[in-house]
Structure 1
Amino acid sequence: MTISPITGWTRDDWTTLADRMLLAARRHASPSHARITPPGAPGGYGTDVDGLEGFARTLLLAGFRIAGERGEDPLQLLDWYAQGIATGTDPTSPERWVRPSEHGQAKVEAASIALILDVTRPWLWDALDAGVQERVVAYLAEVVGDQDYPRSNWVWFRIVVEQFLASVGGPWSLDDMEADLATHESFARAGGWYCDGVSRNYDHYAGWALHLYPILWSRMTGAEQLAAPRLPAYAERLDRFLLDAVRLVGADGSPLIQGRSLTYRFAAAAPFWVGALAGSPTLAPGLIRRAASGIVKHFADHGAPDDDGLLTLGWHHPWRPIAQRYSGPGSPYWAAKGMLGLALPADHPVWTDVEQPLPVEQADQLTVAAAPGWAVVGTHADGIVRVHNHGTDHARPGDRTGDSPLYARMAYSTATAPLLDEAGWDAPLDNSVVLLDADGRATHRTGFETLTAGEVDGAAVLASRARAHWIDPDRSVPDHGSGRPGTVLDAALITTVSIVRGAWEVRCVRVDPDGAPGWDRAVALRVGGWPVTGDQHTSVAVDLGGFEDSGTHQARDATPLGGLTSTPWLSAYQMGGWKPDGWRFVGLALNGGAQPPRIETSGSSVTVTWPDLTRTTAPLDFPLPRKDPS
């Protein structure tokens, strides 16, 4: 019996892919190996940073490969990267690395270098000349006491570097470490989730950064004293998070297409390997490998890496708009995090146990992840995982910025991508509820308030209220994935309730002018459905009460999936300014079949009869906020 009856992938497939990627990257190295700059347009931080990224991020993969082979090195990776380290830390070399004191991105890459120097200590660090070791320490020591670290997952870059420095007798600061560890604690949320900073930033960083680094740090040389009292909490959160994470993988291996840095692709497999490394009891070893192999195989089968063995800026294929402005040709190699499992030896159960099916491969799935405000729905028939979103927008409640299509849409899936062209940023359409002015300008919802997120009668019920606003965006602001700031005009309050079961969502919408200064400019309400690229899936928007017009928006090359994307929409009109007139209802589905749900309203509730005749009654009693009497 094969140990991989679902994906067909074994450890040999993983090592073959890793070696192919590493050898391909070598072809784009500088003469002394200190910089690796794959072909492509320079990133927003310049070619010096690009070259450092390429070196440090492929070093991650090389280090995992060597560690899992217990130092065996048929590709001579150790000598090759050792030469690069010697040159990169030489301040007189034209190939020298950008230093942490010179550019913030060097602080990120320094962490990968420090981590692998620790993971491969007997074979790499211990073999470096004393002079090179001194230069490495001097390079890394520039982070000590540096207060210019964003209060986000970046705190781990300093923790990891200072832990390595402490282990080799270099300078380090207990105050730095304690402060950064405390900041990490402030990110912890319900259900084992982490939020990447103070805003509602829920995305893949929860797994490939904020669960990854605590476990890796706890295993670094000398970390035990600081890590031991914290490790039980880290492990408990990881155990709980993995229950949600494994439900977010589609049967075809696709991760959820949501959040920034999607060009890191199969880095989404990292939290599963972290679970194996930590000995988490939550997921069986065979399920961990099924999830991780499925994700990596999904991309390998769709052209990433490409025919030259390189990872480009894109998803399946090159598509520059998926990246942030600062991303360069070396950036995608953070995908190496998703190959952390190679650091586990071939006799580990995660490599020897038989694969087990994903949750969506076993049965339909429905769960509510309270921290990000998501209903996670998997449908066994098509293997798609959908997320309905009333809690995440990469902002804070009350903010007035533009919607980021990566975060603020009302739904995401493993089979669809949000519209990411300029219109997608400026005028929300897919999975949105907006008001339109006479010029067709759409409002944004960022800064909304989450009202509820839970399960009722076999369905998920989520609600949020947005102070819908038009915005003239400032396009000069650096792109880190969040919506654009700008000049704002409030339009009205929009309360939206999503009742979700299987492939269908009943979206209930109420508009209240609430004295907003721009309410009289609103002439239409528009609800957008799922954006479907190609003809493999279907998307419908069905009027269940209150809408007069419908259509389908088509956009070419507007998503990283390529080709033509079609998005259905419904609209209702009130010329001369919007007036309160109660609830309106839409049925939205991705692969929902021919029979839509039906609704009945009664007072402050709505009852949905689903296509299989199951009934769900959900509340619509969400009072407006009280006015300040002043």
Structure 2
Amino acid sequence: MEGFARTFLLAGFRVAGGGDPALLERYAWGLAAGPDPHSPEAWPRPDELGQAKVEAASIALVLQMTKRWLWDHLGDDVQERVVEWLATVVGQPYPPINWVWFRIVVESFLREVGGPWSAEDVEHDLALHASFRRPDGWLSDGEERAYDHYTGWALHLYPLLWTHLFDVPDSLCSHEVRRTWSEDLSRYLTDAVALTGADGSPLMQGRSLTYRFAPAAPFWVAAITGLPTPQPGLLRRAASGVLKHFVENGSLEPDGLLRLGWHGGWPAIRQAYSGPGSPYWAAKGMLGLALPADHPVWTDVEHPLPVETGDFTRVITAPGWLVLGSRADGIVTVVNHGTDHALPGDRRADSPLYARLGCSTATMPPLERLVDNSVVLLDATGATSHRAGFRTLFVDELPGGVVAGASHGPVRWVDSSEDKSPDHGSGRGGEIVEGPPLLVVSVVRDGVEIRIVRVDGETDARLRLSGWPVTADTRPRGVTPARSQIVVTGAHVCSSLCGLRGLDQAGVETEGGVSPLGKFAAVPWLGISGAVGRGDVVAAAVRLDRSRGPANNPQITVHGDHVLLRWIDGLDTRITLPNP
């Protein structure tokens, strides 16, 4: 069912854009068999299996998009069985996340073909969607700080396609709401294009990364619905760049199939809901095929991505991100002070794809055993602390192209070995040992993050800061030019840490089989040899680039809660360390 529904998206987009309707014949056979409870290929119903609610939406969306080529030619008996199968969604409970759109889409199709539907269901789900709205066009996937690609490929994709493809009455969705959705998408896309690497790679962050091409979906939605910004040529550059990135990096297996993985197959990237057909939600990234060949998105001159036009920094408020784009390297990096797939005060372990201090278009957090881009305390056994549930204190733009952010919260050690709950992106729970609060401040400029840390409680643990992960098919090489400096070079990137205050140890941790980007992953770290004291302030320069460039680290001076950073060009940046 999953493989049918998700490849049905791809066939439907192609036919809607002028492709051969014969592409839909095999799907007509499937629609005759799947909803038939007496067929040996019968599908589970949405009221029997939660995942069927997801796939029902893809089926309904394409049936609406290709109605005159497919639905109108199905026999009455097949149409009746499809309606009966889809109608089992009515009145069913749905998780209060992006899934609300699956019910809206299905019931809207049912309404248009004379089937049963519930205005109460649709109104309830639209209200939930409204509760997900955050500043600057962003949406959270539920009440938690769950910011990831679902913002674009689900929470922005369905609303505008819904109003574009279906005859939605004003009583369900006013013109004001439609205008808000369009404005939200336009604003979101100014960030989304800036978060795309020059090589087309999207951020390697959040769950469901096996959908690969799907981050291109919101670019195509903007083109389909005629949003004036961004320009069609920029939309095509971003979307086609994402697709090209995966095709050229081996995401298609020799037999032409997509399997669970990132570039090639890598089953460990799966979540609990991932099945063999799951990767074909990548079809969302090919939504542009529904546009005719003379559409401006195909005919306009391509515009370069932000990272291709020059270095930049920017703040994205909703997820608490400080963004840095490097034209020379084509890499976009994010320093994270607001996203952890949790709520403030949460006591679970960190989720690597959400809670790390950094993510980028060139690196992926190791999913186990290695702890990258973190500030941790080490207990007597060497176990690392977790900080999910922290509070975001600020993310701001400062003079001179500087961006800064801070977060604060108590750390804890979590023994999650007994937590066998499904992996839906959140961290795992378990027996907890409490630790002290940590303040982490990041100041970003000139390709470097200055990471400043203060311990706000008593502890006998040791402090450690880790940098960007480096991957390669041979063990990455680490060198220590000085006692508090470490540089690790891999096949494609260089990761470096330079201690600026209070750090006297340096090293590299290396593991195999923890990343889809290479056989080995290595993470540099800096630490303190003894226990860290209450109120101690330490600082390091954290850097990621393609080829090791000259260090432009500022001088740092600390007087109580006041920090002065003097950059190499003479700019002074002053930070007052918060006392939450």
What TM-score, normalized by structure 2, do the two folds share? 0.94
Is this contact kept in 2: 1:218–1:228, CA < 8 A?
no
The answer to whether 1:418 aligns with 2:365 is: yes
* Residues in 1 aligned to 2:577 and 2:276: alpha-carbon distance in whole angstroms: 51
Equivalent AA in structure 1 for residue 122 of structure 2: M
Q: Which structure 2 residues correspond to residues 524-535 of structure 1 after superposition, within 5 A?
A: 524-534=462-472, 535=490
Aligned to 1:102: 48
Partner Cα separation in structure 1 for residue 227 and residue 570 of structure 2: 37
**Aligned partners of 1:186, 1:434: CA distance in 2, in Å?**
33
User: Paired residue for 1:264?
Assistant: 211
Supply the distance in 2 between the matched residues of 1:614 and 1:553 (Cα, whole angstroms): 36
Superposed displacement of residue 436, structure 1? 0.6
| Counterpart Cα distance in 1 of 2:433 and 2:560 | 33
Matched with 1:90 is: 36
Q: Which amino acid aligns with 1:141?
A: A
Q: Distance in 1 between matches of 2:551 and 2:341?
A: 35
8 Å CA contact retained: 1:375, 1:388: yes
The Cα offsets for residues 208-244 of structure 1, whole Å up to 9 and x where unpaired, read as 0000000111123321432343211100100100000
1:596 Cα shift? 4.1
Equivalent positions of 1:28-177 (< 5 A) are 52-69=1-18, 72-73=20-21, 76-146=22-92, 148-177=93-122
User: 1:607 Cα deviation (Å)?
Assistant: 2.4
Pair 1:430-2:372 in alignment? yes
Shift of 1:502: 3.4
Asked if the contact 1:508/1:583 (under 8 Å) is kept, the reply is: yes
Structure 1 window deviating more from structure 2 (365-374 vs 548-557): it is 548-557
Q: CA deviation at 1:618?
A: 3.3
Aligned to 1:496: 440
Say which SS state the counterpart of residue 407 (structure 1) adopts: helix
Q: Supply the AA of the counterpart residue of 2:20.
A: E
Aligned positions, number: 555
Distance 1:165 1:614 in 2: 65
Select 2:539's aligned residue among 585, 588, 602.
Answer: 585
**Correspondence 1:191 to 2:147:** no
Match of 2:557 among 600, 603, 614: 600
Matched, 1:484 2:428: yes
- Give the structure 2 partner of residue 467 of structure 1: 410
| 1:617 counterpart = 2:573 | yes
Runs of 4+ in 1 over 4 A off after TM superposition: none
SS of residue paired to 2:366: coil
1:210 equivalent in structure 2: 155
Q: Deviations over 1:538-578 (max 9, x none)?
A: 11111101011110111222111122222110011434xx5
In structure 1, the partner of 2:454 is 510
How many Å apart are 1:595 and its aligned residue?
1.8
Contact 1:378 1:502 in 2 (8 A): no
Instruction: After TM superposition, list the pairs within 5 Å mapping 1:342-353 onto structure 2.
Output: 342-353=289-300
Check whether the contact 1:444–1:468 (CA below 8 A) recurs between aligned residues.
yes
What is the distance in 1 between the residues matched to 2:233 and 2:550? Answer: 37
Structure 1 unaligned runs (5+)?
A: 1-51, 514-518, 625-630
Distance in 2 separating the partners of 1:269 and 1:447: 30
Provide, for residues 479-519 of structure 1, a one-character-per-residue CA deviation record: whole Å limited to 9, x for no partner.
Answer: 01111111212110000000011320000000022xxxxx5
Corresponding residue number in structure 2 for 1:313 = 260
Question: What is the distance in 2 between the residues matched to 1:307 and 1:231?
Answer: 43
- 1:260-318 Cα offsets, whole Å, 9 max, x none, are 00000110100100111121122111111110110000000011122211001000111
2:475 maps to what in 1?
none
What does 1:236-255 align with in structure 2 at a 5 Å threshold? 236-255=183-202
1:499, 1:618 within 8 Å by CA — same for their partners in 2?
A: no
Matches of 1:201 and 1:583 in 2, distance apart? 30
Matched position secondary structure for 1:606 = strand
Matched residues in 1 for 2:28 and 2:567: separation?
62
Contact 1:461-1:618 at 8 Å conserved across structures: no
Query: 2: distance between equivalents of 1:371 and 1:554?
Result: 34
Question: In the aligned structure 2, how far is the partner of 1:409 from the partner of 1:609?
Answer: 27
Distance 1:363 1:127, change over 3 A: same
Letter in 2 for 1:245: A
Alignment of 1:210-359 (within 5 A): 210-225=155-170, 226-229=172-175, 230-359=177-306
CA contact (8 A) 2:210 2:270 kept: yes
Partner letter of residue 7 of structure 2? T
- Post-superposition shift, 1:430? 0.6
- Per-residue CA deviation, residues 579-622 of structure 1 (Å, 9 max, x unaligned), is 314311111100262324122234433222335x2524232331
Aligned-residue RMSD, C-alpha: 1.3
Per-residue deviation, residues 50-83 of structure 1 (Å, max 9, x unmatched):
xx100000000000000000x633xx22211101
CA contact (8 A) 1:596 1:610 kept: yes
Find the aligned partners of 2:304 and 2:161 in 1 and give their Cα distance.
27
Deviation at 1:532, TM superposition (A): 1.2
Distance in 2 of aligned mates of 1:498 and 1:139: 52
- Percent identity for Structure 1 against Structure 2: 55
2:394 to 437, 452, 464: 452
- Which of 531, 540, 558 in structure 1 is aligned with 2:514? 558
Matches within 5 A, 1:378-417: 378-417=325-364
Contact 2:137 2:183 in 1 (8 A): yes
For the 8 Å contact 1:363–1:379, the answer to whether it is kept is yes
Moved more, 469-478 or 399-408: 469-478
Q: Is the 8 A contact 1:494 1:512 kept in 2?
A: yes
Distance in 1 of aligned mates of 2:191 and 2:321: 10
C-alpha distance in 2 between matches for 1:341 and 1:387: 28
SS in 2 for 1:406: helix
Contact 2:164–2:225 (8 Å) recurs in 1: no
Secondary structure in structure 2 of the residue aligned to 1:219: helix
Counterpart contact for 1:523–1:573, Cα < 8 Å: no
Amino acid at match of 2:119: L
Question: Mind listing any 5+ residue stretches in structure 2 that lack a counterpart?
Answer: 473-489
Cα shift readout 1:448-492 (whole Å, capped 9, x = no counterpart): 000010111221110000211000113311101111111212110
d(CA) in 1 for partners of 2:228, 2:127: 27
Return closer, same or farther for 1:590/1:610 CA change in 2, 3 Å cut-off: farther
SS of equivalent to 1:161: helix
CA deviations over 1:324-379 (Å, ceiling 9, x no partner): 12311100000000000000111100011111110000011211000000011100
2:214 and 2:122 map into 1 onto residues whose CA distance is 26
Residues 563 and 577 in structure 2, CA contact (< 8 A), matched pair in contact too: no
SS in structure 2 of the partner of residue 211 of structure 1: helix
